[in-house]
Structure 1
Amino acid sequence: MVSDKYYLSDMSDRLPPLTALRAFEAAARHLSFQAAAGELNVTPAALSFQIKSLEEHLGAPLFRRLNRRVELTEAGLALSPQASEGFQTLTAGWRAAKRVLDSGILTITAGPAFTAKWLAPRLFDFAGNHPEIELRFAATLRMLDFATDDIDIAIRFGPSDQDDPPDLHRALTIEEWVTPMMHPDLAQKYQTIESLLEATIIFDDSMKFLKNSVSWADWFDAHGLATPDLHGTHFSQADHAIDAAQSGAGVVLGRISLGEAALRQGNLVAPFDTALIPRANFRVLCPKGAETRPGTRAFLDWLGREAGRMEGQRDGRRMVLAGG
């Protein structure tokens, strides 16, 4: 028997007003009518009225009103997660629609080192050819969400055999490799592979998260040389290791993606012909279908051309698969 305070609708599948559901979702999340009202910028009385109308629509209470707090009833507990998910989906859809219309803004996420050493030095070219596109960068290693974080393109480094999410399109793969890099003055001192055993070593630990990482021991092993316990300065960020090598502090097993600009400008040299290929690469991802949008397509094409420019650094080198 239903309390006379509520009634069962004869149209049980008819959705209630969106404003009432929004009021419930906020109140269920905060377990406070006052906090929910503040979030939605309405008075507590107005929010309470919306929730009451929702309860009448359902024919059952959604909250237990206690002395200074509220708690969800069984019906409220059933509705709360679905309501939250529904509003998250609506928000994501709304943001996606706005991004389609706002073709003049392109938001890219990449790691801090790749942004600083690879993207930033090249952006003048893209900006000069596409003044109509405003680029925004989120330089972070945190995995951002395309929908909730308003991301158009993600550049991520990870294992080569890593699968992409089914809703994403891999627009480009940028290969990585490493080789000893040093200031030109040091190249006069360390002219043989054996002489590097006496060099001041800079350790780039940025790829240690990989199951099959690369190390100085791997590089010397590719030449049939056993290595003693090498000592030197360790950097967790690859760009910091590259900066230290440019200053002449030592020799780094440098990543081509981050050292290529310095090599091209003559601030670093890579005099030895052996390079190691890690079992990892950069994946350039975007939501499926987004790759055809004019702004996204322009940036992806430019990215592909710039990545192709690095291929010249491979000329004359012996490429060895790390761990192979």
Structure 2
Amino acid sequence: MDRLGDIRLFVEAAHSGGISAAGRRLGLTPAAASARLAKLEAALAARLFERTTRQLRLTEEGRLYLRHATQALQALDDAEAALAAGRNVVSGKIRISTTSDFGRNLLMGWLDAFNALHPEVTFALSLADSVSNLLQDDIDMAIRFGAPREDCSLVARRLATNRRVLVASPEYLARHGTPASPADLARFDCIVLVIASGPLNEWRFVRGAQTESYTVPLDTSRETNDGAVTRTWALSGHGIVLKSLWDIDAELRAGSLQVVLPEWRYAADSPITALFHRNRYRPARVQALLEFLVERFAQAEAAWADLPMLGAQAPTGRGQTGEAAARSGNREPL
């Protein structure tokens, strides 16, 4: 228990930036707090802080130890709270990572709705179109578009299907016309999303027994590594872009974006998955959020039946929601 108290003191000092302030929060004098941190460093045979008269700065070893110590203390606090209440307590902070466009356009609103049900929960939301390292970034849940990479340390829960469509603004289509087939896209400006494994400029479509592909020429297209930018460019009339329905549901309903080639279906639809650490304790708040999101995804998919502009693109059926080990994929999840 002495070691546990020393670890709590270390975490408090790292977060507050001072040993004296951390000691006061735990009822210790500055001298006692300093001595206990020195004892912890001696036991670990590592210097955790660089100390100056004005600043307390974590060493590289200190940053590593802080990440694991914070996770361990959070798990202990969750367990104690659950035992004390005699039930699963939905409270505390959930750290989530997802893509920029989905996070801004749908997930933020869903998190607000979840907060209305569980006001004791707070969020740390990381938005990036690159793949997060769940352990390194201290993420509780990552929501990713695409098949997850093979990783025995992760567990994946399928949430929905990622339906993608070609869209453009009505103004752009009024100026340039509408493509009649995938091959006809060569006459139009296109916008390309670039991920860590390369640009997503290979577009393949099916219509009945027909299959057609179009490779967007990068030298004449707009490209970016931010999904939100591709959406903004399309809204501003800069061309045609391949977007997930999850990112543009509101724009389709408002008419600010229109589906192009609705009779052709994008052939590389992929799952949306929630990724978790395999061996890390999953607190009640994370499990409650997962169940909430499964329901919200299902409701949103059902509502797409009300979008006649999707034509043959409308989703059919629900994706599996069973939890399974993360499957291998040739591309990183988006």
TM-score, normalised relative to structure 1: 0.59
In 1, are the aligned partners of 2:97 and 2:127 still within 8 Å (CA)?
A: yes
Residue 223 of structure 1: SS of its match in structure 2? Answer: strand
- Alpha-carbon shift at residue 257 of structure 1 (Å): 2.4
Aligned runs of 1:228-307 on 2, under 5 Å?
231-272=220-261, 273-278=263-268, 280-285=270-275, 288=282, 290=284, 297-307=291-301
- Could you tell me which residue of structure 2 aligns to residue 157 of structure 1? 145
- Could you tell me which residue of structure 1 aligns to residue 167 of structure 2? 181
Query: RMSD across aligned C-alpha pairs, in angstroms?
Result: 5.2
- Alpha-carbon shift at residue 175 of structure 1 (Å): 2.2
- Could you tell me which residue of structure 2 aligns to residue 93 of structure 1? 75
Deviations 1:158-186 (A, max 9, x none): 4x15356657562x333224332111243
Matched residue type, 1:248: G
For structure 1, the 5+ residue unaligned runs are 1-14, 70-79
- Could you tell me which residue of structure 1 aligns to residue 101 of structure 2? 113
- Alpha-carbon shift at residue 155 of structure 1 (Å): 1.6
After alignment, is 253-262 or 141-150 more displaced?
Answer: 141-150
In 1, are the aligned partners of 2:204 and 2:267 still within 8 Å (CA)?
A: no
Residue 259 of structure 2: SS of its match in structure 1? Answer: coil
Residue 304 of structure 1: SS of its match in structure 2? Answer: helix
- Cα separation, 1, equivalents of 2:2 and 2:215: 73
| Cα distance change of structure 1 residues 163 and 216 upon mapping to structure 2, 3 Å threshold | closer
After alignment, is 98-107 or 131-140 more displaced?
Answer: 98-107
Deviations 1:210-267 (A, max 9, x none): 47x6415656995366776650322221121112112222211223321232123221
- Cα separation, 2, equivalents of 1:130 and 1:50: 38
Aligned runs of 1:203-222 on 2, under 5 Å?
203-205=192-194, 208-210=195-197, 214-216=200-202, 218=204, 222=211
Matched, 1:190 2:175: no
In 1, are the aligned partners of 2:23 and 2:30 still within 8 Å (CA)?
A: no
- Cα separation, 2, equivalents of 1:235 and 1:266: 24
Aligned runs of 1:123-142 on 2, under 5 Å?
123=110, 127=113, 131-134=116-119, 136=123, 138-141=125-128
- Cα separation, 1, equivalents of 2:164 and 2:144: 18
Matched residue type, 1:131: A
- Larger relative contact order (Cα-Cα within 8 Å, sequence gap ≥ 6): 2
Larger Rg: 1
TM-score, normalised relative to structure 2: 0.58
Matched, 1:202 2:159: no
- Cα separation, 1, equivalents of 2:238 and 2:37: 66
Deviations 1:107-151 (A, max 9, x none): 64423221112334x549x73x97333464513237375999584
| Cα distance change of structure 1 residues 285 and 310 upon mapping to structure 2, 3 Å threshold | farther
| Cα distance change of structure 1 residues 226 and 115 upon mapping to structure 2, 3 Å threshold | closer
Higher strand share: 2
- Cα separation, 1, equivalents of 2:151 and 2:304: 24
In 2, are the aligned partners of 1:186 and 1:248 still within 8 Å (CA)?
A: yes
| Cα distance change of structure 1 residues 175 and 210 upon mapping to structure 2, 3 Å threshold | farther
The count of residues paired between Structure 1 and Structure 2 equals 275
- Could you tell me which residue of structure 1 aligns to residue 59 of structure 2? none
- Cα separation, 1, equivalents of 2:169 and 2:300: 24
- Cα separation, 2, equivalents of 1:148 and 1:226: 35
